[in-house]
Chains A and B, each alone.
Chain A
């Protein structure tokens, strides 16, 4: 078993990941950022202490059978006290369906069932810089990734696109870490007007050669496809964090599959819960 310290980086060739734990955690705080977005902080230190950047948890708000299934969420922050002891994790939630609506409405003291950490984390960059590309709620895996990159003294940029300026969150957090910010909004209210792939392509064009940056992306699937194609066109490796409807998070149900091109040239469905959610962007077959 090959692992580095928690919240450092771990490698994709680990034979046996650390087993997940299931905790009935208590909500510490629920900060509603807007009518749709909230940051839910839960007392799940057992999960947080094991979490690597890019991993996820499966959450539910009831132990009754309706809603029944848990839903997957990237671990947004691993929160430590002054002594460095992990006290909690948070998730960045966007209200869209039933469980995300329930998670939006929780109050301090409410229970949340939290299973994790799950899935393969991001790999550290082999060399050069790290460019993180986030669209909307796709910001979620990048707070922990940024911390790990900064700890490794990797020059890091966040390309971050949202619909409006109001929906660009945690800018001070990344700024304080020393992450360079490139912002876009669809209405032009902040940063560059348009999609996040615009400035990304401009920056990729400006690179002097291949394999100078590792591009990390999370967001809507068309954005991920565009980022992966751009990275490939300009000769840079990419890792994409995929979102799928997920039943179990452990490889049992085969619902969360992503078509991936394998070394033998065949395309096969890979379960994003255990074969992802982070994939090599060049291997995903975009539909």
Chain B
């Protein structure tokens, strides 16, 4: 039978399949090399990196909620220089396609981090984190303003030829307008959604479950909202979309792709099952065979809205 093609292209980044490990959910990738061959993933998105090392928030940093979890890690990270010297060579040796998630407290810091990574060997793309809900300084102030989004993306565009993928927040009324701003500023793709700003309270103690009081909600609880946002963005922009939000199995991958995502990221599910990647690939293969699809890209945005699906009990 014909070989199945799951490949995805985002500028110069060519991935063999659409499955990417989401930033903040996979360490620097190397933590998982004993349980998954990193080269078999579409891509590995690193933890968010600033110029300097960051310690992050005090524990408690996560709290489970119905079909989801809150996190407020606070972007603990080793900084871009240590990443380049300590992690990047190992990721290259393992043939991982490495997408570095970059952060900044100022526009200048984003640009500097992007420039430094552009000069490093082995970076395949940059994901621009303008959507972390958990830190006061930087990120979200760019991601919640159309001008801020356009400004940071166009400034980074000027200093790098790497594919750039702004990661959008869902904590705005219209993510699609931010997708448009990112595309206009020269983004090669967009990724969405980051987590939903949320909180949880221990009623006996009358205290927040997180030290940061508020945190970002992820997991299957957010998936229907994320799918809707991807679908809205698909109608607004031509560039590839990397969809994410509560993907737990291959059907969820397909849901995002049919809504308009070219690739997906898996985050929280990797915590629950670090062996999920093989299962996702097997599930996609099975789907392609059952539906006689040879190019998985053909289902991107293939949603038929002429009538709803037949409901099953």
**Interface, chain A (partner B; CB < 8 A):** 16-17, 19-20, 22, 60, 65-70, 98, 115, 244-245, 247-248, 250-257, 268-269, 274
Cβ-defined contact, A69 with B59, below 8 A: no
Q: Known contacts being A65-B67, A253-B62, A269-B56, is A22 close to B275, with CB within 8 Å?
A: yes
| Least CB distance, B246 to chain A, in whole angstroms | 8
Enumerate chain B residues within 8 angstroms of A269, measured Cβ to Cβ. Answer: 55-56, 76
Cβ-defined contact, A252 with B271, below 8 A: yes
Cβ-defined contact, B55 with A67, below 8 A: no
Enumerate chain A residues within 8 angstroms of B24, measured Cβ to Cβ. Answer: 253-254
Enumerate chain B residues within 8 angstroms of A245, measured Cβ to Cβ. Answer: 59-63
Cβ-defined contact, B31 with A60, below 8 A: no
Q: Which 9 A-B pairs have the closest CB atoms?
A: A251-B31, A248-B271, A19-B34, A255-B62, A255-B61, A65-B67, A65-B220, A247-B271, A254-B73
Name B248's closest neighbour in chain A (CB-CB).
A65
Enumerate chain A residues within 8 angstroms of B67, measured Cβ to Cβ. Answer: 65-66, 68
Cβ-defined contact, B61 with A251, below 8 A: no
Name B73's closest neighbour in chain A (CB-CB).
A254
Q: Is B121 an interface residue (CB 8 A)?
A: no
A79 to B201 Cα, complex, angstroms: 40
Cβ-defined contact, B34 with A251, below 8 A: no
Enumerate chain A residues within 8 angstroms of B32, measured Cβ to Cβ. Answer: 250-252
Name B22's closest neighbour in chain A (CB-CB).
A252
Q: How many A-B residue pairs have CB under 8 A?
A: 92
Select one of B63, B220, B271 contacting A253, CB under 8 A: B271
Q: Is B71 an interface residue (CB 8 A)?
A: yes
Q: Known contacts being A16-B34, A253-B71, is A69 close to B64, with CB within 8 Å?
A: yes
**Contact size range, B:** 20 to 34
A69 to B65 Cα, complex, angstroms: 10
Cβ-defined contact, B64 with A253, below 8 A: no
A255 to B73 Cα, complex, angstroms: 6
Select one of A20, A98, A248, A255 contacting B59, CB under 8 A: A255
Enumerate chain B residues within 8 angstroms of A256, measured Cβ to Cβ. Answer: 59
A256 to B274 Cα, complex, angstroms: 17
Select one of A67, A250, A268 contacting B35, CB under 8 A: A250
| Least CB distance, A209 to chain B, in whole angstroms | 37
Enumerate chain B residues within 8 angstroms of A22, measured Cβ to Cβ. Answer: 273-275
Cβ-defined contact, A69 with B271, below 8 A: yes
Contact flags B255-293 to A (C-beta < 8 A → 1, else 0): 000000000000010111111000000000000000000
A109 to B213 Cα, complex, angstroms: 40
| Least CB distance, A263 to chain B, in whole angstroms | 15
Cβ-defined contact, A252 with B34, below 8 A: no
Q: Is B25 an interface residue (CB 8 A)?
A: yes
Cβ-defined contact, A69 with B76, below 8 A: no
Enumerate chain A residues within 8 angstroms of B216, measured Cβ to Cβ. Answer: none
Enumerate chain A residues within 8 angstroms of B268, measured Cβ to Cβ. Answer: 68
A255 to B216 Cα, complex, angstroms: 13
CB interface residues, B 4-36, toward A, < 8 Å: 24-27, 31-32, 34-35
Name B268's closest neighbour in chain A (CB-CB).
A68
Enumerate chain B residues within 8 angstroms of A244, measured Cβ to Cβ. Answer: 59
Cβ-defined contact, A66 with B66, below 8 A: yes
A70 to B66 Cα, complex, angstroms: 14
Q: Is B47 an interface residue (CB 8 A)?
A: yes
Q: Known contacts being A67-B64, A70-B272, is A253 close to B59, with CB within 8 Å?
A: no
Cβ-defined contact, A252 with B25, below 8 A: yes
A247 to B73 Cα, complex, angstroms: 11
Q: Is B245 an interface residue (CB 8 A)?
A: no
Q: What are 20 residue pairs bridging A and B, where the CB atoms are less than 8 Å apart in the complex?
A: A19-B35, A20-B34, A20-B35, A22-B275, A66-B67, A68-B67, A69-B271, A115-B274, A245-B61, A245-B62, A247-B271, A251-B32, A252-B26, A252-B31, A252-B32, A253-B73, A255-B60, A255-B73, A269-B55, A269-B76
Enumerate chain A residues within 8 angstroms of B31, measured Cβ to Cβ. Answer: 250-252, 274
Cβ-defined contact, B56 with A254, below 8 A: yes
A126 to B248 Cα, complex, angstroms: 46
Name A257's closest neighbour in chain B (CB-CB).
B59
Enumerate chain A residues within 8 angstroms of B25, measured Cβ to Cβ. Answer: 252-253
A253 to B27 Cα, complex, angstroms: 7
Q: Known contacts being A252-B25, A253-B73, A255-B59, is A60 close to B272, with CB within 8 Å?
A: yes
A248 to B270 Cα, complex, angstroms: 8
Cβ-defined contact, A247 with B62, below 8 A: yes
Name A19's closest neighbour in chain B (CB-CB).
B34
Name B220's closest neighbour in chain A (CB-CB).
A65
A191 to B59 Cα, complex, angstroms: 35
Name B270's closest neighbour in chain A (CB-CB).
A252
| Least CB distance, A10 to chain B, in whole angstroms | 15
Name A248's closest neighbour in chain B (CB-CB).
B271
Q: Known contacts being A16-B34, A250-B274, A253-B73, is A268 close to B55, with CB within 8 Å?
A: yes
| Least CB distance, B225 to chain A, in whole angstroms | 16
Besides A20-B34, A253-B24, A254-B61, 5 new A-B residue pairs in contact (Cβ under 8 A), listed by A number: A22-B273, A68-B219, A253-B62, A257-B61, A269-B55
Name B271's closest neighbour in chain A (CB-CB).
A248
| Least CB distance, A156 to chain B, in whole angstroms | 32
A198 to B85 Cα, complex, angstroms: 48
Cβ-defined contact, A251 with B27, below 8 A: yes
Cβ-defined contact, A254 with B69, below 8 A: no
Q: Is B68 an interface residue (CB 8 A)?
A: yes
| Least CB distance, A267 to chain B, in whole angstroms | 8
Enumerate chain A residues within 8 angstroms of B275, measured Cβ to Cβ. Answer: 22
Select one of A68, A252, A257 contacting B68, CB under 8 A: A68
Enumerate chain B residues within 8 angstroms of A68, measured Cβ to Cβ. Answer: 64, 67-69, 219-220, 268, 272
